[in-house]
């Protein structure tokens, strides 16, 4: 996972995003059992290697969540009536229960969620969401990390 290595190296250079305690295999298993969904191998490796950006924003104003803060769109935004009005996703996006928010940009101007499945899947689509609007931007977590490391325009709505 070259993108994961690039991410870890970049975060080590930024005091604000130095990694927190990495997740354990036991924590990953516990998450999967509680959710009834599987984390893809690339995302599991991410949590075991860096586990988020310490709830801090990087130089480009992205924050990545720890495994402990990985939450479904349905749970995270059910009562969110601010701006953007993320609670609208519950009515516009059918995958709210299986898409889990793992990062945000500019204090939740947009958020990033990955679709998880109960069985291993060849794709785990990553979406950028804002209010009731969503767009698929990657077919895997690794592909998302590549976009992030390259600061691709695809990251933004």
Domain assignments of the chain as residue spans, ordered by start: 2-152
7, 49, 31, 19: which is closest to 114 by C-alpha? 31
Q: How many CB atoms lie within 10 A of CB 141?
A: 24
Give the alpha-carbon dihedral of 114, 117, 123, 126, to 10 degrees: -10
Q: What is the pTM of this model?
A: 0.94
- What ranges make up the beta strands (E) of 7-83? 62-64, 71-72
* Number of Cβ within a 10 Å radius of residue 156: 14
Mean pLDDT of 24-32: 98
pLDDT for position 95: 94
pLDDT in the model for residue 16: 67
pLDDT tens, position by position, 107-157: 889 999 999 999 999 999 999 999 999 999 999 999 999 999 999 999 998
Region 20-27: mean pLDDT is 93
CA angle 35–43–15, rounded 5-degree value: 115
Per-residue pLDDT tens for 56-91? Answer: 898 899 999 999 999 999 999 988 878 888 889 999
pLDDT of res. 79: 84
Q: With bands split at pLDDT 50, 70 and 90, how would you rate the model's confidence at 37?
A: very high
Where residue 1 falls among pLDDT bands split at 50, 70, 90?
A: low
Topology (CATH level 3) of domain 2-152: SMI1/KNR4-like (3.40.1580)
List the beta bridge partners of residue 38: 117
If one counts every other C-beta atom within 10 angstroms of the C-beta of residue 31, the result is 20
With beta carbons less than 8 A apart as the criterion, state whether 88 and 113 touch. Answer: no
DSSP reduced 3-state for 90:
helix
């Amino acid at each position: 996972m070259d993108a994961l290595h690039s991410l870890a190296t970049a975060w080590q250079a930024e005091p604000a995003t130095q990694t927190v305690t990495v997740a354990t295999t036991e924590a990953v298993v516990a998450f999967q059992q509680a959710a009834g969904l599987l984390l893809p191998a690339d995302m599991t490796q991410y949590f075991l290697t860096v586990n988020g950006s310490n709830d801090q924003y990087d130089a480009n104003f992205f924050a990545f969540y720890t495994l402990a803060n990985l939450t479904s769109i349905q749970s995270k935004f059910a009562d969110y009536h601010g701006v953007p009005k993320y609670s609208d996703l519950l009515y516009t996006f059918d995958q709210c229960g299986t898409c889990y928010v793992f990062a945000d940009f500019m204090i939740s101007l947009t958020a990033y969620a990955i679709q998880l499945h109960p069985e291993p899947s060849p794709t785990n689509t990553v979406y950028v969401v804002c209010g009731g609007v969503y767009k698929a931007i990657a077919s895997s977590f690794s592909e998302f990390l590549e976009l992030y490391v390259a600061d691709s325009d695809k990251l933004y709505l």
